[in-house]
Amino acid sequence: MHGSNAIAIPVRRQREPLVLRVAPPDPRSVEEIRALRFWDGRGTVRLVDADSATGASLLERLDGERTLARLPLHEAIPIIARTMRRLAIPAPPNVPSTATIVRERAAELEPEWEQLGRPFDRRFLDAALAATATLGHTESTLAVNGDLHFEQVLAGTREPWLVVDPVLLRGDIDYDLARILWSRLDEMDDDDIQRHIETIVREADLDRGRARSWIIYRAVDYWLWGLAFGLTEDPVRCARLTRVVLPSRRRSATTPASG
């Protein structure tokens, strides 16, 4: 089996079924190993042994044929939301902060939008910039998986569902909420999107307004990134997600007070 960055080989140590994962020995692999050591099997695949210098890790064996991507959305959404919350334990202080990531990225959004020829309405950019003003500060010191989506959650035996290849951050656990949505957006109509957001907010115990700010910021951020790198499908999904989540500019009608 393989993903975009590693191969996974089923092996046995004595009679114990395990997986040998081999990835390029680069900083990304080192950080993945560190993340698995930190969570130590809490909602994640268990790390049995690892050699950071060679990019090799020995993991408990999960069912690579069963991911949350194969479940109907009405089943998968509550599971991934509860997984977000399960991973939210106090994080080490020396890992990247979601707030720092936002502050550093905020200054790049408008120049990229200009360089790409102003590819979408200014109001979407302004909404993302407004979100950065909020998200660039957080009081949360909880652990965050910065690479959470349905393909990264596999069926296990020790626990029903376990995360693989986590990226350890610190801060707001709804950091990757937009990716969760855009990764299966083609299966949702507009009402579905709103309903699934509400389910995630409830099941992961999130602040609704902050969660929507994360969706807008991350969707616009990835929209720009995708356009810059010539992607053709994900920018369309990000555009649709932003339009659905961003409040309409139309003002609701007001009813005159009765005398």
Q: Which residues contact 103 (CB under 8 A, 6 or more apart)?
A: 132, 136
Q: How many CB atoms lie within 10 A of CB 244?
A: 19
* E strands in the chain: 7-13, 16-22, 47-51, 56-60, 63-67, 142-145, 153-155, 161-163, 168-171
pLDDT digits (tens, 9 = 90+) for 49-63: 999 889 899 999 999
Of 10-24, 93-107, 245-259, the poorest mean pLDDT is in 245-259
Residue carrying structure tokens 């992607």: 231
Taking residues 212-241, what's their average pLDDT?
97
Report if pTM > 0.85: yes
Single-letter amino acid, residue 71: L
Q: Which fold has domain 1-61?
A: Phosphorylase Kinase; domain 1 (3.30.200)
pLDDT digits (tens, 9 = 90+) for 55-109: 899 999 999 889 999 999 999 999 999 999 999 999 999 999 999 999 999 999 9
The tokens for 21 are 């994962």
Q: Which of these, 165, 176, 178, 163, lies nearest to 83 by C-alpha position?
A: 163
CATH 3.90.1200.10 occupies which residues in the chain?
62-245
Chosen CATH of 62-245 out of 3.40.47.10, 1.10.10.10, 3.90.1200.10, 2.40.10.340: 3.90.1200.10
pLDDT surpassing 80 at residue 5: no
CA of residue 75 relative to chain centroid, distance: 18
CATH 3.30.200 occupies which residues in the chain?
1-61
Q: What is the rounded distance in angstroms from the CA atom of residue 177 to the CA atom of residue 146?
A: 10
* Angle formed at CA 106 by CA 103 and CA 111, multiple of 5 degrees: 150
- Give the pLDDT confidence score for residue 95 in this predicted structure: 95
Q: What is the rounded distance in angstroms from the CA atom of residue 227 to the CA atom of residue 169?
A: 26
